[in-house]
Amino acid sequence: MPTIPSKLAESLKKRKQENAFRSLKKTSSLIDFSSNDYLGLASSKKIYQQSHLILKENNLLQNGATGSRLLSGNHILYDLTENFLAEFHQTEAALIYNSGYDANIGFFASVPKRGDLILYDELVHASIRDGIAISRAKAYKFDHNNPESLQNKLSKIEKTDDLELYIVTESVFSMDGDMAPLKDFTKISEEFGAFLIVDEAHATGIFSDKGEGLVQELEIQDKVFARLNTFGKAPGCHGAVILGSKSLKDYLVNFSRSFIYTTALPPHSVATILAVYHEFEKGIPQIQQLHQNIIFFRNQIEKLRLEKHFIFSKSGIQSCIIPGNEQVKNIAENLRREGFEVKPILSPTVHKGRERLRFCLHAFNSEEEISQVLKILAKLLA
């Protein structure tokens, strides 16, 4: 009997031939330019200790949630944390999901209905695409970060009473690191009576004074129908939240299958989210340090005349385009030998010819580390 069906074996063979085969590797002790731990909070002893105190104070010294939130898993920390998140993010209600992927799947599979129309940026995350694919609504992509493209597509739609329009974007894009023209999109959504949805995964904890995200930095939170904020990146923990109206939360609790049919997060995960947000509320210096490192990185790119290789970005994601899976993997391996962990992003994750080294900057990266890795990169590209 074969180990897997022949079609699956053929898919694996093809991926290896394209030099795009993925495998699980252990985390390294190299200088980190690859993780999403932008602020270094994943290893914060203070937050770890605060999480434990929150559990003790609420008599929740247990390992698991015991069930879904609609059964036995809705422990007291959920209410405390969701109320805190709603106030912090200046919205009416918050609903925690087990991950950003679960949140996007659950939202898009349940909110847009048959007969509705979704317009999404062509570079949105795979989790949004997968949720849209499950949805019964029709969906069309518009050109990346292009308000004119979006407006042109909307102007061709014949609006009826039972047609709802949804516009979907990320605030900071995970592969290019660039930012959406959110103010333009809010104007367009108002003009056409559409509901704007913004994925803030790579903006949470990074933008605005206390890490509230790009939507709040631009002061457009009242014009956005729903926001997705994840905790596995800058907050350094796990889970995600959908922010919106109380009615939206009620709807998701009743109809979002990835929320309803899954065991709730264990108390420790929710306590960690709350502990992190308590620190955000006080204000943490790591946010400012990260932005200083971003500026220094961009200055070094100019100094070494590498601008033509990099996508312009003011975020913690700085992508260096190196076409070809083999070429970008070779350069990443050379950087590893020099002590730096920078991940190559291969096709088909990105379009063929747009393979890249994806530098993730952190508050804990030193200027010396940034200068050194870019000098080595310049020699390799030369």
Tens digits of residue pLDDT in 127-146: 999 999 999 999 999 999 99
Spatial distance between the Cα atoms of 45 and 55, rounded to a whole number of angstroms: 16
pLDDT tens figures, 159-205: 888 899 999 999 999 999 999 999 999 999 999 999 999 999 999 99
* Residue 348, preceding peptide bond in cis (omega within 30° of 0): yes
29-43+285-381 CATH: 3.90.1150.10
Query: Shortest CA distance to 119 belongs to which of 144, 99, 94, 97?
Result: 144
Q: For residue 379, give the H/E element and its range.
A: helix 367-381
- DSSP SS3 for 317: strand
- DSSP SS3 for 275: helix
- The mean pLDDT of 239-250, rounded to a whole number, is 98
Per-residue confidence band for 1, with pLDDT thresholds at 50, 70 and 90: low
Per-residue confidence band for 294, with pLDDT thresholds at 50, 70 and 90: very high
Per-residue confidence band for 7, with pLDDT thresholds at 50, 70 and 90: very high
Q: What angle do CA 375, 376, 380 make, to 5 degrees?
A: 120
Write down the domain spans for the chain. 29-43+285-381, 60-282
Spatial distance between the Cα atoms of 133 and 169, rounded to a whole number of angstroms: 16
Please list the alpha-helical segments (H only) found in 220-324.
246-255, 257-260, 267-282, 285-303
* Helical packing angle, 267-282 and 45-57, nearest 10°: 120
pLDDT tens figures, 107-132: 999 999 999 999 999 999 999 999 99
Can you give the pTM of this predicted structure? 0.94
Spatial distance between the Cα atoms of 290 and 18, rounded to a whole number of angstroms: 36
Per-residue confidence band for 26, with pLDDT thresholds at 50, 70 and 90: confident
The chain-wide mean pLDDT, for the chain, equals 96
60-282 CATH: 3.40.640.10
pLDDT tens figures, 69-110: 999 999 999 999 999 999 999 999 999 999 999 999 999 999
Q: Are 243 and 86 in contact (CB under 8 A)?
A: yes
Which pLDDT score, from 0 to 100, does residue 60 have? 93
